[in-house]
Chain A
């Protein structure tokens, strides 16, 4: 006897949720930040975004076909679209096309389908794609540009953008450092954080997103709005975003208080780099994060602390992707140790003692 041979039992009522609807809501939440950043970084960003998303969907289709699964039905769940979208948002906006395509291969084929496809992967596909690129092509992957809003003076036109994305003609003069990178480089030259901090964009610019950075990460405000929308829609809960940012902020704030010359402040860490994008959209990835709320808190805190450690002590100025991948690896173990307490049992699974209270 196997489970397939039995007539299906209840319930005879189901909620109106679906994987597709979930993914679609996440895409909707990403839309404002994406549109803003595509505007901010202009045509080259739009081209790279299109190439990356397109490559992810195409590779997903190829993998599904190779594994003899229904291609159209599985593409309909929008998971590849979302992976491609997040991957594109984590790339430098003027990076050449092959970065997007190669990252898509690693994200979809290696990180997702070699593990068995949707729901089976241990590591977040978009972050695998990004980190493989970062480790393999560190120069291209850290070639940030200052904002060149569409149709503004000095912004590349469509043809120039075509040359940037597909011809590799990035004008040298416009490269800029991200705030995190700048502070780190200055520190290595012996200039204390407290001094270099004067050169980075102000808090307001950092929050609004008028700064150099990855294609979709710069506007903390818009990402926050998207994240709150997801919470309102009950797609995500507050546990992971809050614990990621809480962990990062606490570590940064404590060390900043001890030695402000060496360590950047908590607020700086929160608004720079991919903190918001990571906390609301990447660490919250269902597949690669723990399922219980308690597990999610531990997972988030771990991400936050690791982000700070990597940013502060490791070779790379930014650590969101690394931190999340490391915690992804721990998620199955966290799940095992944070199962909820069953009704009528203690946390070890033994029946509760019988205590008869007097009413």
Chain B
């Protein structure tokens, strides 16, 4: 099949060989698990359990609430120790409400929902409900609740379900291993999802540096005419949703639109496997494969880890540190987040835990920009990092916004190639954070202004009405005290809605 070029990108040292040839191993169930209520984009789930409750594996312990959310399930059987604040797996290291579960060592399954006997006869609703019930989120890293993406078929006419098996981040091999070891499960999950979405075609995009995965997946898909496996060029950031769509279909997603607006829904391969488990066996998402790698890890491996296992325990399982890590990263080295603490748990979006040495990171002191233009050449978004950084350095965030800093998705290609080692992504993350705050602030002000205007109008109207009423009633009597109750109530309402 003809592929389409994508702009820019880099070819970093992939270092995938540390884990790519090792079969997935299972981490023994730790004594204590820490399940954060928010492991996904959207609202945190609502706690369903209390201290001392006994739960079984797979039992829902927190329910999704609001339009964008995902529920959480007990990763093993045991007793709820407490619900409290625990360090989140986030660079801030801030605490987050977390259910602490003590394992009873039995790992007993709860009574699970019945498998959907023939998912291809079931309607989209049944499948989406099951996916939502099972707490499945995007497992490529973004952790967006998958059921919402599966609902897109109801609003839009979709052509293609695109499975993202690019895994373009260096070090990470969890998707590679899952594809090699569980290809049939992925294919089945993909067919179920395509059925729910109503897409006639399924395309699976895998980078060419995973030839075994390509071969095994192609074989597994050969029985189904609607599924096509495509080996895409090795070019970071090929795994970016928009870029993968462009490489495979040639269609460029307009700014501020979704790939779904082009008729293409993208899901990660591991997510697809989770859907297979949920639909065929009623099993919720309670474990995932995590790549534990990096120069400072004694025994790098791909580990099937229960959700909620402490990262420290996972590292311990992989032999601990063989050297002092300069940074421990949650995710891949390009777009992953630095971990503030190893006490944080593994969550549904944790694709990798990397303990990297200073040598691997190869960050050097920043020197002056020599305007070499490499960052402009490699930017896959067609931005001009050198100019944006110059604006941000002078705190001219308006200027940076005009040059499109909000279109940057922090892929890190510019920082990677910069000969002066300028932390460009750091600049852009800072600018994006401040600009987002400013926008929130201005939206809030706008809303307060509107409310105030509405209130003035309402008061004027009320006064007008009163005056009119007074005028008509005047001949009869003028002893009725003017009521202010209505107005006071209106004010309370405004406060509540603000």
Contact = CB atoms under 8 A, between A and B. Distances in A.
Interface of A: 1-3, 6-19, 21-22, 77, 79, 117-120, 286-287, 289-293, 296, 335, 339-345, 349, 351-354, 356-357, 359
Contacts of B7: 340, 343
Contacts of B419: 17-19, 21-22
Interface string B239-265: 000100000010111111100011100
Given A13-B361, A13-B416, A356-B263, A340 B327 contact: no
B329 A9 contact: no
Contacts of A6: 426, 430
B415 A349 contact: no
A8 B329 CA distance: 12
A37 B38 CA distance: 70
B255 A351 contact: yes
Contacts of A292: 373, 376, 384
Given A12-B356, A17-B419, A120-B368, A342 B257 contact: no
Interface stretch (B63-71, B187-195, B333-341): B333-341
A335 B426 contact: no
Interface string B179-193: 000000000000000
A10 B370 contact: no
B403 A339 contact: yes
Given A8-B426, A11-B416, A356-B263, A344 B407 contact: yes
A342 B404 CA distance: 8
B368 A119 contact: yes
Nearest to A76: B367
Contact of B368 (A16, A117, A356): A117
Contacts of B434: 1
Contacts of A359: 159-160, 201, 249, 263
B466 interface: no
Given A3-B426, A3-B427, A11-B333, A351 B254 contact: yes
Given A14-B361, A335-B387, A8 B376 contact: no
A231 B446 CA distance: 54
A353 B75 CA distance: 45
A286 B371 contact: yes
Contacts of B337: 9-10
A17 B373 CA distance: 13
A21 B254 CA distance: 39
A344 B404 contact: no
A299 to B, nearest CB: 11
B13 interface: yes
Contacts of B386: 291
Given A11-B412, A13-B334, A19 B262 contact: no
Interface in B392-447: 392, 395, 403-404, 407, 410, 412, 415-421, 423, 425-427, 429-430, 434
A19 B327 CA distance: 25
A286 to B, nearest CB: 4
Contacts of B364: 14, 18
User: Interface SS of chain A: helix, strand, loop or mixed?
Assistant: loop
17 contacts: A12-B334, A13-B360, A13-B361, A14-B416, A15-B416, A286-B371, A289-B371, A291-B371, A296-B373, A335-B384, A339-B384, A342-B383, A343-B381, A343-B382, A344-B254, A352-B252, A354-B254
A114 to B, nearest CB: 15
B369 A119 contact: yes
A13 B426 contact: no
Point out which of A286, A289, A342, A353 has the most chain B C-beta atoms below 10 A from its C-beta.
Answer: A342
A34 B201 CA distance: 62
B448 interface: no
Interface of B: 7, 10, 12-13, 91, 159-160, 170, 201, 242, 249, 251-257, 261-263, 327, 329, 333-338, 354, 356, 360-364, 367-374, 376-377, 379-384, 386-387, 392, 395, 403-404, 407, 410, 412, 415-421, 423, 425-427, 429-430, 434
Nearest to A118: B368
A267 B403 CA distance: 42
Given A14-B362, A287-B370, 16 more contacts: A1-B434, A3-B426, A8-B338, A8-B426, A9-B337, A9-B426, A11-B425, A13-B416, A342-B382, A343-B255, A343-B407, A344-B253, A345-B382, A351-B255, A353-B254, A354-B262
Given A22-B372, A340-B379, A343-B380, A13 B425 contact: no
B372 A343 contact: no
Contacts of B418: 14-15, 17
A77 B364 CA distance: 13
A359 B203 CA distance: 13
Contacts, number: 187
Contacts of B367: 18-19, 77, 118
A154 to B, nearest CB: 44
B257 A344 contact: yes
B246 to A, nearest CB: 8
B370 A119 contact: yes
Nearest to A359: B159
Nearest to A339: B384
Closest 9 CB pairs of A and B: A11-B412, A291-B373, A344-B255, A352-B254, A351-B255, A119-B368, A17-B419, A12-B333, A13-B333
A342 B255 contact: yes
A296 B242 CA distance: 28
Nearest to B294: A12
Nearest to A236: B372
B301 to A, nearest CB: 20
A155 B337 CA distance: 66
A295 to B, nearest CB: 9
A7 B364 CA distance: 16
Contact of A286 (B255, B329, B370, B404): B370
A286 B427 CA distance: 22
Contacts of B412: 10-11, 13
Point out which of A12, A16, A119, A354 has the most chain B C-beta atoms below 10 A from its C-beta.
Answer: A12
Contacts of A351: 254-257
Point out which of B13, B256, B403, B407 has the most chain A C-beta atoms below 10 A from its C-beta.
Answer: B407
A53 to B, nearest CB: 20
A352 B255 contact: yes
Nearest to A117: B368
Contacts of B170: 13
A329 B397 CA distance: 26
Point out which of A22, A290, A343 has the most chain B C-beta atoms below 10 A from its C-beta.
Answer: A343
A339 B381 CA distance: 12
A217 to B, nearest CB: 24
A262 B162 CA distance: 65
B354 A12 contact: yes
Given A9-B426, A117-B368, A349-B404, A340 B335 contact: no
Nearest to A12: B333
B417 A15 contact: yes
